[in-house]
Amino acid sequence: MIGTLRISTGALRRNAKALRDLAAPARAAFVVKSNAYGHGLVGTAHAIEEYADALGVYSVEEGLTLREAGIAAPIMVLGPSPVELLDDALRHDLQITIWDDGLYLETVANIARRHGKTFGVQVKVDTGVRRLGLDPSQAGKAIKRIASTPGIALTGIFSHLASAEELDSAFTLAQVETLNAAIGDAKLDSDPLRHIAASAAAILWPQTRLDLVRFGIALYGLWPSKQTRAACPLELELEPALAFESRLAAVRKIEAGTAVGYGGTFRAPRPMRVGVVPFGYADGIPRALSNRGAFVVAGKRCPIAGRVCMNMTILDLGTTNARPGDRVVLIGSDGGSAVSADDWADWAGTINYEIVTRLPAGLPRSFED
């Protein structure tokens, strides 16, 4: 591919430190699921491990990849763990998530006892998102049963907030109360870590930080929402860690009235020069950027002309003197101009999470301090 993703390890570390300081005295877990939100799983984990009380992944496979790369920090698997991978998860000291105090719990415990070990588990309670988790009305008894099962070490009890980005959310506080009530009903003899806050809640709702905060999007220098950034009561600086760069594959002159791209949705309003960028919607550029977005060439924003293709995007080069082989900044800055993941999200009518996580894993990633 003619291009690369440049990841600033310095920005990742500075963000991690700032967020760890924000969470204190609560602990800080950094979520590196989905290829570290598109930034690169292993490289990101190595960059921020020293600041992490734990790392969060979605799958056992992600956790095993980190262990194979030498990551020693505690790893929480936040998604479902299939039975066929439980032996590997136990062997590599991954904390799995459970929300079943029946057959699945017995399977996990039996595997642990067979190996003469204890299995670290996080118990999830559904307090309002309606995805995974114990029913809160029965969670107390279930948590008690899980905690007292031989072979099981209950390391944490958690939930996930549905509306933390809202500035006046009674539902957020109700979810915290529901989690705390479930833990209280369990009447445990130990004190597993309680956690419910992700980036937005940790920034806007200090009372949600509990014992540990799971920082995701903020680690990568992106704000959970515009509202979160505007309402942040703290002097919190976040640095975007990702830049996406390519090079012009071709430059050509076209006459006024010339149709450009599929469907001819763009017609040249004047004689002009257009450039071809060898990336398209198969490479993570939303097709919704057609005739709306822009990339930076020679220090100037150059609008996308016509529809984004599967593997190519055409730019109006304007008055630049750009030539084939010149650098194109798809996300990042050059000279006095910049394009951000938030810009892409605005043009595409989506959120910055989707923009970065959909950048293909096969794109080369360069980790630079």
Tell me what pLDDT residue 18 has.
97
Nearest Cα to 53, choosing from 90, 84, 93, 23?
23
Tell me what pLDDT residue 169 has.
77
- Please give the backbone phi and psi of residue 332, each rounded to the nearest 5 degrees, phi first: 135, -160
Fold held by 9-219: TIM Barrel (3.20.20)
> Cis (ω within 30 of 0) for the bond into 25?
yes
pTM comes to 0.96
Both tokens assigned to 296: 């930076």
Stated length of the chain: 369
Bridge partners (DSSP) of residue 124 are: 158
Concatenated DSSP letters for 35-78? HHHTT-HHHHHHHHGGG-SEEEESSHHHHHHHHHTT--S-EEE-
Question: Which are the catalytic amino acids?
Answer: 33, 262
Please determine whether the domains at 9-219 and 242-368 fall in the same fold group of CATH: no
Tell me what pLDDT residue 185 has.
96
Instruction: Compute CA 328 distance to the chain's CA centroid, rounded to the nearest angstrom.
Output: 25
Tens of pLDDT, residue by residue, the chain (369 residues) = 789 999 999 999 999 999 999 999 999 999 999 999 999 999 999 999 999 999 999 999 999 999 999 999 999 999 999 999 999 999 999 999 999 999 999 999 999 999 999 999 999 999 999 999 999 999 999 999 999 999 999 999 999 999 888 777 789 999 999 999 999 999 999 999 999 999 999 999 999 999 999 999 999 999 999 989 988 877 899 999 999 999 999 999 999 999 999 999 999 999 999 999 999 999 999 999 999 999 999 999 999 999 999 999 999 999 999 999 999 999 999 999 999 999 999 999 999 999 999 999 999 999 999
Tell me what pLDDT residue 1 has.
73
Alpha helices by DSSP H, listed for the chain, are 9-23, 33-37, 41-48, 60-68, 86-91, 103-114, 136-147, 170-186, 199-204, 226-231, 341-348, 352-357
DSSP 358: T
Torsional class of 31: left (φ above 0), alpha (ψ -120 to 50), beta (otherwise) = beta
Both tokens assigned to 160: 């996930």
Coil, strand or helix at 6: strand
Nearest Cα to 56, choosing from 96, 105, 16?
96
Q: Is the dihedral of CA 105, 107, 113, 117 positive or negative?
A: negative
Domain segments of the chain: what residues? 9-219, 242-368
Both tokens assigned to 13: 């570390």
Architecture field, domain 242-368:
Beta Barrel (2.40)
DSSP 84: G
Q: Do residues 92 and 76 touch, judged by C-beta distance below 8 A? A: no
